[in-house]
């Protein structure tokens, strides 16, 4: 799986001060809906919140990676939320508040690509300097450049 095969664009990046997990997830879902990348935004919403009920996607180090597979997705979609403040109620594995949320949405039949992309993104994010750079970004283009550049370097 190559990041260039996924949909990752500036319109799917947002900077916020939203303090609640629910509000952040809703904002990412809205970005995807506004770009007309899913036919059924309500199905996406239900899948995201069902996944969170099953187990929090807060992986630690201030990062959450909500990830779902739904029927009508052709290319994997990545939406990114960067919070100036902490999301205290994310229930992260290490108990730390979340500031960076990267949502991954894949089609039902993209299981292998979805898992590979999820794994690669987590590896990239585990680099402490990468987290800092993303959190310090001021523009969506910077975020896209950081993610794309690191993903490509990780595969060379």
Residue 56 near residue 92 (C-beta atoms within 8 A): yes
Whole-Å CA distances, 108 to 53, 68, 74, 126: 20, 9, 9, 27
Give the C-alpha separation, 22 to 18, whole Å.
9
Instruction: Tell me which of 8, 67, 79, 105 is the catalytic residue.
Output: 67
Asked about 67 being catalytic, the answer comes back as yes
Active site residues: 67
């Amino acid at each position: 799986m190559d990041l260039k095969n996924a949909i990752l664009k500036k319109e799917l990046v947002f900077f916020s001060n939203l303090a609640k997990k629910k509000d952040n997830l809703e904002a990412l879902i809205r970005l995807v809906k506004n770009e007309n990348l899913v036919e059924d935004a309500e199905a996406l919403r239900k899948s995201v919140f069902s996944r969170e009920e099953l187990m929090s996607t807060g992986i630690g180090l201030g990062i959450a990676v909500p990830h779902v597979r739904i029927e009508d997705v052709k290319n994997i979609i990545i939406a990114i939320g960067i919070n100036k403040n902490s999301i205290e109620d994310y229930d992260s594995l290490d108990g730390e508040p979340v500031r960076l949320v990267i949502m991954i949405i894949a089609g039902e039949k993209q299981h292998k690509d979805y898992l590979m992309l999820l794994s690669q993104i987590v590896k990239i994010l585990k680099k402490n300097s990468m987290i800092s750079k993303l959190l310090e970004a001021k523009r969506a283009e910077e975020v896209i450049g950081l993610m794309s550049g690191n993903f490509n370097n990780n595969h060379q």
